[in-house]
Chain A
């Protein structure tokens, strides 16, 4: 049963290798292999989610080496949650790409598989250097995905994306080697156990190393001022690639969540809580920057990119608050926002299909400069009494659901998530709340307002003000993935009780990682000196 833990890495890896060997000749076989792999991943991750929801942290020792000598994969509630989100997004992206995008360039399917492999590996690994390796697998695949479909805009954005990520990887390496030089281990659990005993003169150096490591993660999570690359890259990428890229920024958040709570928890001695205020401040600034970007943009893809920034900022600020209940709410928000943003990126492509090029750019400018008035008058005459076509109605409903989810309005899970973050923040202080809490509160609510305004404007422009007769042609295979992701959000809303219990249990395990430490370190003690 424990071998299941490594399956989410192996399945896409093998599928990807076979796909590359098969090349472009057997497209049908490649597609069915991809379908099999993504479906298998969905089933596997659901199974692992059930397995993880218990007190036991599951450890997989590669090659059966004891965990301090070998490499371990660790499955706890947080990694299982991330696996499920990845699998859901992977399935949606795969199905969506079948309509046209997988033919827009070579090797879409293998790239998607390697992307999933890297993501799953990064979520499962219990070792810093393997985290680096899986990051690189994931990034290498994402370079291909971001460039998929080619074209000047993608290559230009891809150049920036690759350069920034190479630089972040170098920072990651510097951080890892400083941590190894001082801590003497790369195993996360072992490092956490040693945090208290670090010599006083080495502590500053170790903290510096971990801070450099943190910067590498925060570049990935696109914290202000490290996130200027994100909106441009995501807007240039093709729809399925952008949807899968949107979970990449959550990998950075995941790494911060995992390492910060593990290494700088209450057990870390003098280092406890190191960097927390930075996370809160950076998160709030990211929310502010994201909200301004949401309002400023006239392009739907950039709007989606900016809402990725808002969601990253919200998560970082909530994590930085360092309270168990707030972290639980943040995990709920993570699940909801990953699904909603993925659906939104896919939806944008469908919505924009029916519009003439540059219409979105002109929409606001037209109002400001008063041009094109006669055009609107003639449209009004024609548009009177025209029923909204079925396709547009479905797209409009999905768009509205995305807007509600992203802005955090009731009744969908976005609202529950924001409520779950805010309620414990407000409930803690008996003698008045600290200023940071008020700032965070204001940032969260104002970012919701900004998203509502931007989505309303974009929605009116896309569905009500668009010229009649330009109904986008949308296949069932394209709207189904969007519906799947939104339905998952709906399920999260209806099953909010059990889901919230799961998130709170995950948050508790993150804040008090005894089970995690015991699990990994016991795997060492079970066979001392063995494994040769």
Chain B
């Protein structure tokens, strides 16, 4: 479980960083999205990973604190998802504006001299 989760986070983060370093704005925005997925999964996993656990209560048992997953990382990840979604949407608008104003999708607003 830990291995799968950490591999997933690592692959997402690695692809995100690679795309972020690319010269096209669309690649950058996809890179940022992948990175934010990786970060969201990472926050989520700090609450501890368990497989096969009940959502809230085991059937037929009285609930105890020990069965609960830490709810705070889940609250954090929700906030983080909302915020990164909104700012990525804003970046998308700026990206389109930049494409329209400069006529190129290079991140510097002009093609590199060849």
Q: Footprint of B on A, CB under 8 Å? A: 129, 133, 136, 139-140, 143, 147, 150-152, 155-156, 158-160, 162-163, 166-167, 169-170, 173-174, 176-178, 180-181, 186
Contacts and interface: CB of A to CB of B under 8 A. Distances in A.
B101 A152 contact: yes
Contact of B83 (A151, A169, A180): A169
B84 interface: yes
Given A174-B42, A176-B76, A177-B43, A169 B94 contact: no
B73 A177 contact: yes
B43 A173 contact: yes
B73 A170 contact: no
A195 B102 CA distance: 51
B79 to A, nearest CB: 7
B73 A180 contact: yes
Nearest to B96: A155
B95 A159 contact: yes
B94 A155 contact: yes
21 contacts: A129-B76, A140-B86, A140-B90, A147-B94, A150-B97, A152-B101, A155-B97, A156-B108, A162-B91, A162-B94, A163-B20, A166-B32, A166-B36, A167-B32, A174-B39, A174-B42, A176-B76, A180-B46, A180-B72, A180-B76, A186-B72
A170 B39 contact: yes
Contacts of A159: 25, 91, 94-95, 98, 107, 109
A150 B102 CA distance: 13
Contact of A162 (B73, B84, B87, B109): B87
A177 B42 contact: yes
Interface string B3-37: 00000000000000000100001001000100110
A147 B84 CA distance: 19
B69 interface: no
Given A155-B94, A162-B90, A173-B76, 17 more contacts: A129-B79, A136-B83, A140-B87, A140-B90, A143-B87, A155-B102, A155-B109, A156-B102, A159-B95, A163-B91, A177-B39, A177-B43, A177-B73, A177-B76, A180-B72, A180-B76, A186-B72
Contact of A133 (B79, B94, B98, B102): B79
A2 B91 CA distance: 39
A152 B80 contact: no
B36 A133 contact: no
Contacts of B101: 151-152, 155-156
A155 B32 contact: no
Contacts of A133: 79, 83
Contacts of B98: 155-156, 159
A169 B73 contact: no
B42 A169 contact: no
A186 B43 CA distance: 13
Given A156-B109, A177-B46, A169 B86 contact: no
A151 B72 CA distance: 43
A317 to B, nearest CB: 30
A65 B14 CA distance: 41
A177 B80 CA distance: 11
Contacts of A167: 20, 32, 35
